[in-house]
Chains A and B, each alone.
Chain A
Amino acid sequence: MSATAYSRIEALGVYLPAAVQTTDQLSALVPGLGEVDIEKITGIAERRVHDPEPAAGEDSFGMALSAARDALESSRYRAEDLDIVISASITRFKDGNRFTFEPSFAAMLAKELGARSAIHFDVSNACAGMMTGVWLLDRMIRSGAVRRGLVVSGEQATRVAQTAAREMTDSYDPQFASLSVGDSASAVVLDVSTDAADRIHYIELMTCSEYSHLCMGMPSDRTPGIALYTDNKKMHNRDRLKLWPRFHGDFLAKRGQTFAGEEFDYVIQHQVGTRFIDYVNQTAEAEFAAPMPPSLAVVERYGNTATTSHFLTLCEHLRAGGARPGAKYLMVPAASGVVTGALSATLTNVGV
């Protein structure tokens, strides 16, 4: 294998549980909230929730497996062609209610898919997990270490919502953000770009670790369940939101480029909530002194799906059929850590 200049997004896949929970239904389970309107605050009308029955195959592993198979159906590659499988789930539930630490999900997914000779490892980087997997795969393809690979994630994120619903007493509770999550899985296949029409132009990520403690996930010590504790005010304050445009702007300036000159057709922000997305885009417009392209979102229907959000949004957008071939996409992660960055890609012939 030889080094190459660029990788590309070759195919995408998703899995969404069939069961829908409206925000009104969720609110009814959280008596401590009183009259607080979750939908008004988050912009999320509904989310998908996993079927807890093992036979449904909707634990994190089962959903990841389904998304991987969905991506491979649209890909020109078969599982045995994959040089690497990277799994990025935060919630690693397998065999029902086991939160797995080893073997890696990637080892078990590769085995189940039939990617027997694939390099495999899990990446954990909060909601930037899939983006981190894509960053690594891009570098491994460019260095010639691998030719093609799969990044996949399945999330039973609503488990933290269940815990929050049991334990929350008011809307200032650090578990409030847990009410915005939804379940899903997403997968992306990358390979070598031979044509500017399909190309990851760059993907750059950074972690500002001063704020790494602002969003912590671990089992609850009050009721049996996993929980997420977020200091929303500090996590999403204006200085945090300036990190991406500042970092991205510096990256472009070193290359003698500007944000406006990038001429993005679409931006996909992390799907935290509609107001968050608007606020990030407004902050960036001010920082870049340039307008934002149309912002794609699925958060109203699926909630915050954690690691899967960008690739779920992208896949839904491409499957809807209205996307202009050759459009240029900007994806911006925002994750606990605090992780931010930018992925720039032109997409023309992506298998969806």
Chain B
Amino acid sequence: MGMVITAAGTALPDTSAPASVVDLAGRAARGALARARVSASSIGVLINVGVYREHNTFEPAMSALVQKEVGINLDYIADPEPAAGFSFDLMNGACGVLGAVQVGQALLETGSTERLLITAADVHPGGDADRDTGYPYADLGGALLLERSADPHAGFGPVRHYTADRPTDVEGYLDTDTMGRHGRTTITVRREPGHAERLGEFAASAVADYAQETGIDLDRTLVIGPSETADDAGAKGEPHTAAPVLGYLRALDGVRRDDYEQFLFVSVGAGPSAACALYRPEGW
């Protein structure tokens, strides 16, 4: 059984209001559900993998707020046809989507859900990434709808994780010593000089290791890697956790079927941690 992407979507902030994960993830998710013609109540599990969020909210899980925005299992008792949806946040820096794909495989295989929605949205806590020059990421949301495929050759292959044996190049935190009364709008993202080159090399070595471990031909594989801009999606700044969603949509848009047998997702970031996963679309 393969787990395939039934639909994907991204969302950008509406400039009339501060950017919010709930809005971006909600719109990206609703867009994906509409394209797949799937009802919100059919989603058994929603996993939100975004790292940065409005007001630096730490409770509840952003997923619960996104779940409400999308309209999944609002009230199990009041709903005339209760469907017990469940949601949580899974955070692992830039590697969140692939981590959620990995647990999603276990959830489908154990029959814990038939459909899984992954949302990946990051916003500056103050609501506008452009106004903080020290913050590198775009206010951007993405969503993937995942389910089983009847095609045994389609879907995600194994997700593998790689850890570099050195201190992290990237840290994101709220410094509560210096935030004063501005903790809801302040965030620090500290990146070591040369981090991009080092993480690029780490991603390349993870791809090479993965190819060797799984025996795939990289010449016939389109690598969907970390991207430095989200310009084509209309966002300023680097895509963070939504990068695999953006990369997937770009790949589908530009790929020539004859050139490739499959995609290889690779994410790399804070830890340093990297993750790779093979993906073959249905019908390939």
Chain A residues with a Cβ under 8 A of chain B: 3, 90-94, 96-104, 106-107, 110-111, 116-117, 119-126, 128-129, 132, 136, 139-140, 142-145, 204-213, 215-226, 228, 239, 242-243, 246-247, 250, 335-339, 341
Q: A96-B177, A100-B172, A143-B105 are in contact. List 4 more A-B contacts (CB 8 A).
A: A103-B271, A107-B271, A143-B106, A144-B109
Whether A103 contacts B170 by the Cβ 8 Å rule is yes
Chain B residues with a Cβ under 8 A of chain A: 51-52, 55-65, 67-68, 72-78, 82, 84-96, 99, 102-103, 105-107, 109-110, 112, 161, 163, 165, 168, 170-177, 179-184, 187, 269-271, 273
A294 shortest CB reach to chain B, Å: 27
B148 shortest CB reach to chain A, Å: 13
Residues of A within 8 A of B58 (CB): 90-92, 99, 124, 217-218, 226
Point out the residue from A100, A103, A208 that lies within 8 Å of B76, measured CB to CB: A208
Whether B110 contacts A219 by the Cβ 8 Å rule is no
Closest to B106 in A: A143
A90-B59, A210-B68 known; A219+B174 contact, CB < 8 A:
yes
Point out the residue from B67, B82, B85, B175 that lies within 8 Å of A98, measured CB to CB: B175
Whether A206 contacts B73 by the Cβ 8 Å rule is yes
Q: How far apart sit A204 and B87, CA to CA, in the bound complex (Å)? A: 12
B263 shortest CB reach to chain A, Å: 21
Closest to A106 in B: B92
Residues of A within 8 A of B168 (CB): 103
A212-B64, A336-B64 known; A224+B176 contact, CB < 8 A:
yes
Q: How far apart sit A341 and B112, CA to CA, in the bound complex (Å)? A: 14
B30 shortest CB reach to chain A, Å: 14
A206-B76, A207-B67 known; A101+B173 contact, CB < 8 A:
yes
Whether B163 contacts A124 by the Cβ 8 Å rule is no
Q: List 18 A-B contacts (CB under 8 A).
A: A98-B173, A101-B174, A102-B94, A102-B172, A104-B273, A107-B270, A107-B271, A117-B163, A120-B92, A143-B109, A207-B67, A208-B75, A216-B59, A220-B183, A222-B181, A223-B181, A224-B181, A338-B64
Point out the residue from A143, A215, A242 that lies within 8 Å of B77, measured CB to CB: A242
A202 shortest CB reach to chain B, Å: 11
Closest to B94 in A: A102
Whether B170 contacts A126 by the Cβ 8 Å rule is no
Q: How far apart sit A218 and B183, CA to CA, in the bound complex (Å)? A: 8
Point out the residue from B55, B74, B90, B93 that lies within 8 Å of A209, measured CB to CB: B74
Point out the residue from A125, A225, A341 that lies within 8 Å of B61, measured CB to CB: A125
Whether A126 contacts B171 by the Cβ 8 Å rule is no
Q: How far apart sit A144 and B63, CA to CA, in the bound complex (Å)? A: 26
Residues of A within 8 A of B171 (CB): 100, 102-103
Residues of B within 8 A of A102 (CB): 51, 91, 93-94, 170-172, 269-270
A307 shortest CB reach to chain B, Å: 10
Q: How far apart sit A335 and B179, CA to CA, in the bound complex (Å)? A: 28
Most buried by B among A143, A204, A215, A247: A143
Whether B174 contacts A98 by the Cβ 8 Å rule is yes
Residues of A within 8 A of B73 (CB): 206-209
Residues of A within 8 A of B99 (CB): 119, 121
Residues of A within 8 A of B78 (CB): 210, 239
Whether B110 contacts A143 by the Cβ 8 Å rule is yes
